[in-house]
Structure 1
Amino acid sequence: MFLAWILLLLGCVQSERACYNHEYQFEEKCCRKCEAGSFVERDCTSTTETVCTPCADGGYTDALNGLRHCLRCPICDREHHLTELEPCTPVKPTRCVCDEGFHCNGFSENGECTSCKQNVMCGVGEGATTSGSNPQVIHCEPCPDGSFSNIPSQRPCRPWTRCEELGMETVKAGSPVSDSECGESSHLTIVLVLGAAVICSLMLLLTYCCRKKHKGSLAILKDEREEPKPPLLPIYCREREHR
């Protein structure tokens, strides 16, 4: 009789026990959940564990679960300007993103994007910014100092060109609607002009020296040619000298 009371008490404790996170409630039992990528084919009994089956193509479960079937993989609807970024697998759903120039304005129960809306087009002198709550939603704001936008777009303002980093001078400062205009640096121009002048002077000096040297050589050669030679002696005089 005492043993029967013990068994009855244990049964009441088991039936009233809350299931753990890795378990699900089935009738009066706590059954082990199935892993991500599978679902419950048969619930547990007092003598057997939960039987799980892998998800087939087109289905998924992305967490521990007690589901009787896998979730259906979402389809990226091109008519709603959705593009597939990552395909569906047994452990994760399809990841869809809005086309460029659109933002998500419709969501499923699990937070996936289901439809998109075209973004606002920012005018000249304005740039696109995003909000923290939905980074895909575009707002237009005036270009801050140091940046510009010269055409309507859905992009942020572009920074002015820094002429000094290019070794040039700023001819015209930028504005919210135009970029900076760069020109050759006056210092660089002076250096180039002086350098060219020095090179030309050296070339002229070298040419002058070469010509002067050449003229000296010709004068020496001319003197040698004009120097009178001693008269030739008759043959009999030369024979006498040899004797």
Structure 2
Amino acid sequence: MRQTSNMRLFVVLVVMVFEQLMVLTSAQSRCDPLTQYDHAGQCCTRCPPGTKMSSQSSCSNPQCTECGPHEYQDQYTTESQCKVQPYCDPNKNMEDSQPASKKKLSTCSCLMGFHCSSGECVTCVPHTTCKPGQHAKSIGNHSRDTVCESCPEGSFSTSTSWNSVCAKWTECTSGYQVREKGTHVSDIVCEKTPRHQGGLIAAAVVFGSALFVFLLACFLCRAGDTKQRAKGCLESCRGDREKLPRAPSPMLFTQVDETESDPEPRLSQEDEDMKMPEENLEEEREELLSEGVLSENGQFVTQERGKDSIQPQQETQVQTSMD
């Protein structure tokens, strides 16, 4: 009897649990899981995002109010309180990354020129500053720091900044020349090209050429100086006592009428025959000196008959003219 009673009780319990499961399953299948909720087998409406539900709300027509300042609700809810937005502390170089919204969570970002000190971004630190002669290879943002490198050849930078850039050297235009070369921290300095620079170069070339010719002439003159002086001395001792012609001075030169001037006389055959080679003049002079015909200063002397003393030819001519 007891076994029969226990068996009946077990069957009743199983039936009751099954019926309850059927009721819950049927109720859940009728309600929208996003916008509704089940209350005593009845589908009730939730409050939309950005709002909260009043405690006096009914199942079919709830009383929903908007979230307050710095609050948000990002889904349909039956809660009577909104969630609190995070506080972006300006003392930590932070700010709201976007306008405040009551329907989604706002995030904080670092002020311009700063980046997060860690992955949690609880505070922001300044970007690295690039020194003069450098530029920002990679400009920093909210999550990463600035990376600096030296300016490439042909450019320069004078600023100290986290977003510094390099500027190209100035190119000197026509009529200008480089006075100072550019560096990584300074630009090229141009100046006007002097107009007389070309004239100075030409004058220097002309002066150098003239100096070379002058030195060459001096060298050749010194090489032939001894021979020229010996030639002039021997020609002065010739019997006709001809003097070497001298170049007329430009200050004493006077213009002569070519129609009235006589043509230059030509030497006779006898005078031509009297000329002797220059190499024989020195021998002739030594012979005349030994015979007493030629004085030591190069003058011819004559000896009168009946006189033992020899007088220079110049004195003899003077006496003859006086007689």
- TM-score, structure 2 length as denominator? 0.39
Larger RCO, structures 1/2 (Cα 8 Å, 6+ apart): 1
Pick the structure with more strand per residue.
1
- TM-score, structure 1 length as denominator? 0.48
